[in-house]
Structure 1
Amino acid sequence: MASLALPSLNSLPISRLHSQKAPSLNSSIPSISTSRHPCTAAPHPFQSGVIRMQAGEEDFELKQVRDMAAAKKRWDAMIREGKVKILTPKEAGYAIQLSNKPLLDVRPSSEREKAWVKGSSWVPVFEVDDKFDVGTVSRKVSTFMMGGWWSGVPTLSYNSQFLSKVEEKFPKDAELIVACQKGLRSLAACEILCNAGYKNLFWVQGGLEAAEEEDLAREGSQPLKFAGIGGLSEFLGWTDQQRTQAAREGWGYRLLYSARLVGVFVVADALFIGAQQVGRYLQDMRSH
């Protein structure tokens, strides 16, 4: 089996596949044309830098999409060949209760700290990237602009100690249930473990987000379904999980988020009025 291209499976595709759909910010950002008329002056150095950065980000994004497509083919083959077996969240709950099978949680800390399966072991395959080098900052900006502000999905990087940490906890013959929030990162983890010699792997299809409250014993401040949401969409209650919960809870739940939406508009209006007043004050100062 082809090995997983770990360094390339980082934040952009994974964040987008795990995020809520967000209104696009691209339409509000003016595009910079690289065409030049013979009589025009050469672009400003800053403008040239912006163009190069945009081209680099597009190349990086295209490479990530290709890597993800190749990884998906490998994962499908891995399941088809029986190297990894599929469990629903309910079946995983039965396996934990009746057979005492261990569950390996491979989610990043941003999701794990909200809710986790009782008794599960935690080794993130991708972790929140808290570095501030040039490459990381560029990815953070891209993730934010492409929907991170809406979904709250952070920039992630591969945890180079993932395999060694799992090997410290579990022998190669362990019957190991692997789970993440939506099922994508856990497939990547299964491939790593399979290539390392683990023979009894079980993948939780749909991830912990697909679990009902009665399926798995849960600890933490939120339902497992809510552990992967964040950003402005969570604050306003506009995620699929929250809308489903609102349908169950009734009007009280909906009024809470309606009040938050009104509050956002009030704050935005106040900031707009304040900016206008500052602008008038500065204009008066110049006229005097």
Structure 2
Amino acid sequence: MKALSLSLPTITATNSNLNYGSFSAASSYASLSSLQHRPSSSTTLFSMKKSVVRVQAENEDFELKQVRDMAAAKKRWEALLREEKIKVLTPKEAGYAVQLSNKPLLDVRPSNEHNKAWVKGSTWIPIFDVDNGLDIGTIPRKVTNFAMGGWWSGMPTLSFDNSFLPKVMEKFPKDAELIVACQKGLRSLAACEQLYNAGYTNLFWVQGGFEAAEEEDLVVEGSVPLKFAGIGGVSEFLGWTDQQRAAAAKEGWGYRLVFSARLIGLFLVADALFIGAQQAGRYLQEIRTH
């Protein structure tokens, strides 16, 4: 196997080196089956109970399949790294390779992350992208994703992009020294596996993803720091992500005050809505009594 034409320290990949996360319930390793339920007027309550049990069973089966899929994928990825079919780079080493040797960097993140920040000169081809569909199969997945933490993390429902491999093949020859990266390192491993199976033999995985990079490691463009591209939702608004807490430790109290003010504002809005609901309830009760 050819190596990058750049002097880099040797990195040995072990199980503890891998930065594994878990796909959300809507990550496209499995899909939630839609349920059809048409109760008759005489069996409504019984049918509703059956529907609840069925939904719970579907969710349990879905989560179990997801765990099994991730366990199987983890073993495959470990084997590819252990056998050095995929080489490992740190973000700093990837930055050297891109800036000094002009090596291609393939960004496989979904659009919601890439649009916030990206490495200058990189090629963006997502392996999973935001699912904007509203069909009967997508809506249950979006609801499940939101209920299982999407509201907090801001992570949208993602679907596998079937055009990923054709787009990469159109852009890069199979003997290209290709550096593959994502936000945390998980999807880029999945992308490396796809590319290796398609015949790419000079693959380099960025360990830990862009989230592990320091500001000086890569030349970045976009509206936010590269570390912040993967955060969102209520946690980002309140400044309760690990990335924001690390930034607050460097920036000091001025940075923290912004998010403290947001938290106070959120409590005030919640109080106002609660008081308003009480007043509306009393008003409706007075109308009924008269």
After TM superposition, which residue ranges in structure 1, 4 or more long, deviate above 6 angstroms? none
Residue of 180, 193, 196 corresponding to 2:198? 196
Residue of 11, 14, 18 corresponding to 2:23? 14
TM-score under structure 1 length normalisation: 0.85
Residues of 1 paired with 2:179 and 2:193: CA distance?
A: 13
Residue of 70, 73, 95 corresponding to 2:97? 95
Residues of 2 paired with 1:190 and 1:89: CA distance?
A: 16
Q: Which moved more, 1:133-142 or 1:216-225?
A: 133-142
Q: CA deviation at 1:53?
A: 1.8
Q: CA deviation at 1:15?
A: 2.8
Name structure 2 gaps, 5 residues minimum. Answer: 1-20, 28-42
Residues of 2 paired with 1:15 and 1:104: CA distance?
A: 23
Q: CA deviation at 1:192?
A: 0.2
| C-alpha distance after superposition, 1:182-222 (max 9, x if no partner) | 00000000000000000000000000000001000000000
Asked if 1 retains the 8 angstrom alpha-carbon contact of 2:26 and 2:141, the reply is no
Match of 1:158 in 2: 160
| C-alpha distance after superposition, 1:16-70 (max 9, x if no partner) | 799xxxxxxxxxxxxxxxxxxxxxx984323322321221122111101100100
Residues of 2 paired with 1:58 and 1:164: CA distance?
A: 35
Q: CA deviation at 1:232?
A: 0.3
Residue of 259, 283, 286 corresponding to 2:285? 283
Residue of 234, 237, 241 corresponding to 1:235? 237
Residues of 2 paired with 1:160 and 1:287: CA distance?
A: 62
Residue of 72, 75, 85 corresponding to 2:74? 72
Q: CA deviation at 1:248?
A: 0.6
Amino acid of the structure 2 residue aligned with 1:235? F
Residue of 76, 81, 84 corresponding to 1:82? 84
Amino acid of the structure 1 residue aligned with 2:156? P
Give the number of aligned pairs.
Answer: 255
Residue of 263, 266, 269 corresponding to 1:267? 269
Amino acid of the structure 1 residue aligned with 2:24? S
Name structure 1 gaps, 5 residues minimum. Answer: 1-11, 19-40
TM-score under structure 2 length normalisation: 0.85
Amino acid of the structure 1 residue aligned with 2:75? K
Match of 1:187 in 2: 189
Amino acid of the structure 1 residue aligned with 2:263? L
Residues of 2 paired with 1:13 and 1:61: CA distance?
A: 11
Residue of 44, 51, 54 corresponding to 1:52? 54
SS at match of 2:256: helix
Q: CA deviation at 1:172?
A: 0.2
Residues of 2 paired with 1:167 and 1:249: CA distance?
A: 43
SS at match of 2:53: helix
Within 5 Å, give how 1:209-248 maps onto structure 2: 209-248=211-250
Residues of 2 paired with 1:136 and 1:64: CA distance?
A: 17
Calculate the aligned-residue CA RMSD, in Å. Answer: 1.7
Asked if 1 retains the 8 angstrom alpha-carbon contact of 2:25 and 2:141, the reply is no
Residues of 2 paired with 1:122 and 1:263: CA distance?
A: 38
